[in-house]
Homo-oligomer: A and B are copies of this chain.
Amino acid sequence: MGLFGKKPLKIGLIGLGKIAVDQHIPSIRGNKNLELVAGCSPHARPEGVNAYPDMDAMLKAHPEIEAIAICTPPQIRHKIAKAVIATGRHVFLEKPPAATLGEAEAIKTLAAAKGVSLLASWHSRFAPAVETTRKWVSERPIKSITIHWKENVRQWHPGQKWIFEAGGMGVFDPGINSLSILTRILRDSVMVKKADLHIPVNCDAPIQVEMDMQTEAGFPIRAEYDFLQAGIQTWSIYVESVAGEKLTLSMGGTELEVDGKTLMKEKEAEYSGLYAHFYNLIQKKESDADFSPLRIVADAMLLGKRIAAPEYIE
């Protein structure tokens, strides 16, 4: 039984790869309001999960499933979301919500028409220090924001070939996490002004990006993404106020420092927050589908200068 004596919400997973095993499965299991009933994948069979080869087989065996989280690569997410919504189940979309803005908007329209809850999830928005940062930013005029999101693709995305294929977004796959924080902490919308996209000669998506953005208020935002970062991994956002105060949100949003003083240093617990949010949306018959981080990436790809980078071999 969940909180308040309610029966837990029955969840199925589509896609049982790395993110499902690392995050979704433990987060669902850690939430008393939720019950992981089954999952499906053409090949993966993680321990302790009732796994089926596809959605139809999973739902035939478990018609009691009420909500489905889609953790597949983004290229096939729209097709699967459409099928899930047609069965009347609530939908949790891993990030990015789809391969294109058009697909994402279509999913939103379908979910609204069917009356199911849709969560287009951005896990980084649930990092512990994001809300404090948002408050700090809203309380003073800002001079500039700089994003450094630099990680080693070989360490964090082993075997994930789709990431460098057309639609896989390359370094924007982690980079979009920083954009999901950026669009959460700013009230104004963000415009891309310039982007240098370094694309390996044997890939379709960038491995390194430098991007200049601006808000309508006019302060500059600079993002530097690097997928070949050896040594120290960096997932940091630096904010400087007009008055010269300096805030650093680091380690993907778990650590917060203002003017050299550590204010927060927490354990990562994004997916627990996400699943609690998903449960609340369903209870309130609401949806949360903000596509602005994906819009920024699409704008960067539309506007960006393509620069040939050396061949990438995993």
Please tell me if A303 contacts chain B, counting CB pairs below 8 Å: yes
Given the known interface contacts A106-B216, A110-B216, A216-B106, the answer about A191 and B302 at a Cβ–Cβ threshold of 8 Å is no
Give Cα distance in the complex from A209 to B103, angstroms: 20
User: Are the CB atoms of A101 and B305 closer together than 8 Å?
Assistant: no
Please tell me if A210 contacts chain B, counting CB pairs below 8 Å: no
Please tell me if A105 contacts chain B, counting CB pairs below 8 Å: yes
Q: Which of B100, B109, B296, B306 contacts A102 (CB 8 A)?
A: B296
Please tell me if A190 contacts chain B, counting CB pairs below 8 Å: yes
Give A271-298 interface residues, CB cut-off 8 Å to B.
Answer: 295-298
A 251-275 binary contact with B (CB < 8 Å = 1; else 0)? 0000000000000000000000000
Please tell me if A189 contacts chain B, counting CB pairs below 8 Å: yes
Q: What distance in Å separates the Cβ of A303 from its nearest Cβ neighbour in chain B?
A: 4
Given the known interface contacts A216-B110, A306-B204, A306-B306, the answer about A190 and B102 at a Cβ–Cβ threshold of 8 Å is yes
Nearest B residue (CB) for A100 = B299
Given the known interface contacts A297-B302, A306-B199, the answer about A189 and B100 at a Cβ–Cβ threshold of 8 Å is no
**17 A-B residue pairings within 8 Å (CB atoms):** A78-B191, A99-B302, A99-B303, A100-B303, A101-B101, A101-B295, A102-B189, A103-B191, A103-B299, A106-B191, A109-B216, A110-B216, A167-B302, A167-B303, A169-B302, A301-B301, A301-B302
Could you list 6 further interchain pairs (A-B, Cβ under 8 angstroms) beyond the known A102-B190, A106-B216, A166-B304? A102-B192, A110-B216, A166-B305, A167-B303, A204-B305, A306-B306
